[in-house]
Structures are given as C-alpha cells and as structure tokens.
Homo-oligomer: A and B are copies of this chain.
Amino acid sequence: MLFKNIDILDENFDYIKNCHIGIDGEKIDYIGKELPDKNYGRVYNGTGKLLMPGLVNAHSHVPMTLLRGYAENMKLQDWLTKRIFPFEAKMTAEDIYNGSMLGFAEMVRFGIVSTTDMYFMDEYIAKAAMDAQIKCNLSIGTTSSGDKGYYDLPVFEENNSLIKNYHNKENGRIKIDLSLHAEYTSNEKTVSQLAEFAQKSNVRMHIHLSETKQENEQCKQRHNMTPAKYFYTNGIFNVPTTAAHCIWLEDEDYDILKENNVTAACCPVSNLKLASGFCNAPKLYNKGINVALGTDGAASNNNLNIFEDLKIFALIYKASFNDPTVITPKQAIMSATKNGAISQGRDDCGAIKVGNKSDIIVLDIDKPWMTPNHNILNNIVYSAQGSDVVFTMVDGRVLYEDGEYYSIDIEKAIYNANMSAKFILSKL
C-alpha cells in the first residue's frame, strides 16, 4: 500500500508535509518526498490527511466497557464494593469476550493500535484481541485475597498456561505480562513470588502504583515505606514494569522509577473521575522517566477515546501546577504513542520510521476544528476529535476505514455487549 501526498509526523514527531509512505507487508518500507519506484499496490490519496503513529493505551481494563455508566458520582469505596465488584463477580467468559470486543471496537475506531491490559479470565480477552487483530499486553491482576474478582496466588498455573499459549503469538501482537494488582490487595509473599516468577518467565510487569493518598499512607504504616520503595525492595522492578497512575509518589520514588526503567502510565481522566488527585507529570518528564498515557477502564473514564485523555493530559497539569507552559503537545503525543510502545517492549512500534511495524492511523485534517493549521501538533492535542481518525492499521492490516470495521462485526459486538450487560444485571 502507498500513501501518496500525505502529511506525516516523522520519527522525531516533526511535521512533514506532502510525503509518500510505502507499506510492505507488516512494515513501513519507504518514507520520502519522491515517489518510490517500487509498486506497493493500493494507492491511498493523502490530500487533506495526516498520517501518524497509531496510539498506544498504556493502562486499560478492557472488558469493563460492560460497566460503562453503571457507577457514577460515588466515593471510591462505594464505587468498588457496591457496584464494580458485585457486577464483576457475575461476569462469565462470554461476557469477558463480549466486553473486550466492544472495547477493541472503540479502540480501533479512535486510533488505538495496542493496549496494556489488566483484568481476569484473560484467555477470553486474548481471543477477542486475536479476532480484532489489535495488539495487547495482557495480564491477570494478581491479588492475595482472591475475593475481589481477581485471581489468587499461588494460581501460577493460569499465568503459565497464558504464557505458553499466547505469549508472542499472532506475529507478536499478543504478549503476556504479569500483574501485581496493587500493594493494598496483596501480601509481601505474593509480591516477591510474583517478582521471581516474572524474572524466571522473562515477561514484563504491570501494576497500580500510588493511585490514592490512602494507599500511600496505609502502605507506609504497614511497611514503613512508600509503595514504590516496597515494590522495588521486593523485586517487582527487576523486570520492565508499567506502573499506572503514579499520583502520590514521593521524592525518592521518582529516582526509583527512573533507575529501574519503570514506565509511568498516567490516566488523567480516571484520576479526575475518581478524585484520585493530579499526578506530577511535569516532574516525571523532568526526571527522565518514560511517561505513557492510559484510558483506564471504561467504568472510570467512560470511553476509550484516548484523544480525550490526550487533551486532558496536556491541560490539567497546567492548572494544577499553575503553569501554562508544562507538558508540550509533542511530549503529550509521544506519551500517547512511542512511550507506550516502549513500555510494552515493542521497540519497533510507535513511530513512523522505515523498518518499524506499520501501526498507523490517518486523521482527516480538512475539518473546521482543524482549521487553520498554524501548528499541527497543537491541533492534534487540543482540537482533534477521535472521530477524525479515518483509517487504523495494525501490522499492515486495515482494521478500520471510513466507518467500516474490517476485523470486527460491529453490529454483533454492540448487540452482544448489550446482551451481556442485561444478563449480568439480571443476576444481581
């Protein structure tokens, strides 16, 4: 496939007008101002369009689409115990698949090509991801309690089986990570066992870190150290780790994250909705930490349109740190693309570069709200709509184009998700 006369964000996320991009199989094969000699097959007319890397969602709970709008304007504890946990306890394998498929539909429609997920019954998320042909780093949120819809330790069998059956499958699109749900849902033995298991299995780690003030305070009471220090001490950061939220980090924690190459996955919308607080994203950047961007689950967002997260991410730290210069549009866009790919261990993804996987999206920039084009990076972050995505490609395959979903039966996905939600409600 050849994208002809299209504006792009290049590998440095600079704006280059009027390029030609050749796709060969799963890879970006050519980027240039001159038309290539090679015949790439289908020609895409890029006039009025922008080609950029597909977006990477660094923290999701994709089957939670079934809970969208179900629990609102509630305190965190009520939200969890009265609404989320009882609903989740009734979810079957089929519901997990249906909720995932609905979530993947939203993702590809809004330009997400890959997501780092934490949930349970991951086999059925994997099956949905394989069908949707999207990229996923999947993990089971491990807890010690086993009473919150997450799996108990030492149920390592399920992880072993996931790794054996799904890790690096589908041309590497599916990866299995391990996940320690959070400090407050696990004991020290679980944490250190899971850390060892991750090292032995050579897989990545995905955790919730310092999401609430209470979490930090209670951890310090229990262990006399912050959650970051506690995870570090127990070996969690011995493998590359994605830590969601990172709101209540203390000074030393930033150094721990930096020294251990931990990615901070910021989830600004979820943090606002649950009143968790404002993470210090400017400080994360200043410390040189890899900052990525996540939607979190649909129950606390309530959609998977990461363009909204991108805008809010670029905005809220200005007000909360009283400085309109913090978080540049380029920083924000890189966090929503390349930095997310790095956090997933996908170094050949997340940027428009010859040899990289062809995970790309096309935006229609010939829209009133994208006019005038004084600065395309500003327009992408502050003005663009998720609905401006007119084309989503993963590994060189078209998943979405101009209203058509090519890997998902969209009517069926909506119907099945509605049926699952109704059926779960009928059991509550």
Considering only residues 316-331 of chain A, those with a C-beta below 8 Å from chain B are 316, 318-329
Whether A372 contacts B302 in the complex (CB less than 8 A), given A275-B318, A311-B308, comes out as no
Is B315 touching A273 in the complex (CB atoms < 8 A)?
A: yes
Contact of A68 among B65, B301, B323, B383 (CB under 8 A): B383
Task: Name the distance in Å between A76's Cβ and chain B's nearest Cβ.
Answer: 7
Considering only residues 291-311 of chain A, those with a C-beta below 8 Å from chain B are 298, 301-305, 308, 311
Task: Name the distance in Å between A84's Cβ and chain B's nearest Cβ.
Answer: 12
Task: Name the distance in Å between A17's Cβ and chain B's nearest Cβ.
Answer: 14
Task: Name the distance in Å between A82's Cβ and chain B's nearest Cβ.
Answer: 13
CA distance in complex: A325, B274 (Å): 9
Is A421 touching B372 in the complex (CB atoms < 8 A)?
A: yes
Could you say which residues of chain B place their CB within 8 Å of the CB of A272?
A: 315-316, 318-319
A228 at the interface (CB under 8 A from B): no
Could you say which residues of chain B place their CB within 8 Å of the CB of A69?
A: 372-376, 378-379, 382-383
CA distance in complex: A315, B319 (Å): 14
Is A319 touching B372 in the complex (CB atoms < 8 A)?
A: no
What does the 1/0 interface line of A368-399 toward B look like (CB < 8 Å)? Answer: 11011111101100110111000000000000
Whether A418 contacts B276 in the complex (CB less than 8 A), given A74-B324, A378-B302, comes out as no
Q: Which of A101-109, A152-160, A334-342, A345-353 contacts B (4 or more CB under 8 A)?
A: A101-109
Considering only residues 400-421 of chain A, those with a C-beta below 8 Å from chain B are 410, 413-414, 417-418, 421
Is A417 touching B371 in the complex (CB atoms < 8 A)?
A: yes
Contact of A302 among B102, B305, B383 (CB under 8 A): B383
A256 at the interface (CB under 8 A from B): no
Task: Name the distance in Å between A87's Cβ and chain B's nearest Cβ.
Answer: 10
Residue picked from A103, A328, A375, A383, most chain B C-beta under 10 Å = A383
A72 at the interface (CB under 8 A from B): yes
What does the 1/0 interface line of A252-278 toward B look like (CB < 8 Å)? Answer: 000000000000000001011111111
What does the 1/0 interface line of A143-170 toward B look like (CB < 8 Å)? Answer: 0000000000000000000000000000
A73 at the interface (CB under 8 A from B): yes
A126 at the interface (CB under 8 A from B): no
A66 at the interface (CB under 8 A from B): yes
| 19 pairs, A vs B, C-beta closer than 8 Å | A70-B374, A72-B375, A102-B371, A105-B368, A106-B368, A274-B324, A276-B319, A302-B369, A302-B379, A302-B382, A303-B382, A303-B385, A316-B316, A368-B410, A368-B414, A371-B414, A371-B417, A385-B387, A386-B387
Q: Interface on A for B, CB 8 Å cutoff?
A: 65-70, 72-76, 79, 102-103, 105-106, 109, 269, 271-278, 298, 301-305, 308, 311-312, 315-316, 318-329, 366-369, 371-376, 378-379, 382-383, 385-387, 410, 413-414, 417-418, 421-422
11 more A-B residue pairs beyond the given contacts A73-B328, A106-B369, with a C-beta to C-beta distance below 8 A = A66-B372, A68-B383, A69-B378, A72-B375, A271-B319, A275-B319, A305-B369, A368-B410, A372-B422, A373-B418, A385-B385
